[in-house]
Amino acid sequence: MNKQENRDETRAKKYLLSLEHTEIEYEPLGNVTPDFLLDKKIAVEVRRLNSNHINNEHIISIENFEIPLIKYIKKIISTFEYKYYSNSTSIAITISKPLEIQNKTYIIKKIKRILKKHTYNISKTKSYTISDYLILTFTPIDKKNKPYFFTGCNNNFFWVVDELHKNIQLVIDEKDKKIDKNFHIYDEWWLILVDSIIYGLDSEDFRQLKSIKLEKQKFNKIIILSPKGNFKAFEF
């Protein structure tokens, strides 16, 4: 007996219907891969895109905490306004793992207070401990375009993109193993990743993400799909 569609599968199905395929069948082989079959020939697997890590060769999904937090901190830094400053300052983020999930609202409020506080020491290099796992380091620079510039996380300007790339590839590899048994049955295979963390990236990160190279394994197409609202999708 086929199980009921989960939320991500329902989202993916609505997206597939928008592509005007003539026939969409849910779990054509029962409660095994694939999740959908399009026009009796294209097999589609669906999965949520989480943060993941590998434990004893198994993928463990964890809360999407780090990536949205760093994205939001970048936004705060880039939009901070202050009229009276002698020089600009670069801000580097250092995080350690595993992260302890704390009150995000408290962390953001503390960072905003520190951004304001540091305007009185804007010509000095200084580090602030936000929590046990998060540190901001302020370094003065010669430019005077705006008070603060984000310069990276853990010495990597594109840390957010690299983390996303790593997690997307982990999911592809996991699904590649899952479809192996039934791969020969269908002409073509797609993987739809329903995502809540990629959309909302700033334009620079988004351009960088689209330029990365993924190993698609047995899949002909990888689709990253927005989790709600109008369908936004891009393919690898």
> Tens digits of per-residue pLDDT, 224-236?
888 888 888 888 8
- Of the segments 52-66, 95-109, 162-176, which one has the largest average pLDDT value? 162-176
Residue 203 predicted with pLDDT over 60: yes
Per DSSP bridges, beta strands 148-153 and 88-95 are parallel
Question: Residues 33-44: what's their mean pLDDT?
Answer: 96
Residue 86 predicted with pLDDT over 80: yes
The structural domains of the chain, ordered by start, are: 7-63+160-235 (3.40.1350), 66-156 (no CATH)
pTM comes to 0.73
- Quick one: pLDDT at residue 59? 43
CA atoms within 13 A on the CB side of 93: 27
CA atoms within 13 A on the CB side of 20: 0
